[in-house]
Amino acid sequence: MSLAFARLRRLIGSLAGISLDADKLYFAQSRLEPIMRAHDCRDLAALMRLIETREDEALLQRVVDAMTNNETSFFRDRVPFERLRQEWLPDLMTRRAETRRLRIWSAACSTGQEPYSIAMALAESEPDLEDWKVEITATDISESALEIARRGVYSQFEAQRGLSTARLLRYLEPHRGQWRVSDALRARVVFRRVNLLDQFRDVGPCDVIFCRNVLMYFEPEVRREVLTRLFGVLAEDGVLILGAAETMEFDERFAPSTSGDCRILRRRLAPRRRSVNGV
């Protein structure tokens, strides 16, 4: 392994928690090539020297953006959105009948298809939610991904990927040869930059957290730390949804289950104490 690549691996790990495999040199070079070209860096070693000798937050952000996997689609894996609309949402609405308020967090939202899918699922639950205050917060570490998400403009392929024709025509509108998410739907989602390695107490408490297919890229210790912080902002009766492939050790606080293409975590309730009379 080259020294420059080893330094890059440490940098990406410290900035974004991403565990970059030792055999990913070619992948890293191809992802970073536009940045190297823009800064007249002949190779990865030159780019790392530039990063390490110049305090340039914008450059660091571009490197993180380049190394972040933004693979996503509307209603990806389908099952979580069906269960949100048919099961978790009705249950939470019963529990929140007095406050009539729900908070949903799409963590690592990439270019926005997941939170917009959540907003569509909620829209299809109306009129039950007409007089409710529902907050959908969507976050990502990548500023470039968030810019796309806020615009809500997608190519024909991106728009059709995961959306039925009925949903496409209901929630998106033609826009300069592409498709744009309607103003009404975009108004339901607030996008913010959040690094999952940082503290994010101001995001919670959340009734539902989608954090899918991101922890799998972290080192085991980082995964445990992030999971603990997610657990800390999850409501007592809330639902945390991970990707089905995200296998990890869960402690006694969680009651994990798998459904389709997602892993569901709920707080494990303490057993009821029996009185001295056995009642």
207 assigned to active site: no
What separation in angstroms does the CA of 177 have from each of 153, 155, 181, 231? Answer: 10, 8, 13, 42
21 assigned to active site: no
Among candidates 226, 180, 234, which has minimal Cα distance to 206? 234
Query: Which DSSP symbol is given to 271?
Result: P
What is the Cα–Cα distance from 279 to 130, expressed in whole angstroms? Answer: 42
Backbone angles phi, psi at 207, to 5 degrees: -80, -35
Residue type, 13: G
Which residue is catalytic, options 65, 140, 207, 223? 140
Which residue is listed with tokens 């978790």? 88
Contacts of 199 (CB under 8 A, 6+ apart): 229
Which residue is catalytic, options 31, 95, 150, 170? 31
| Catalytic center residues | 31, 140
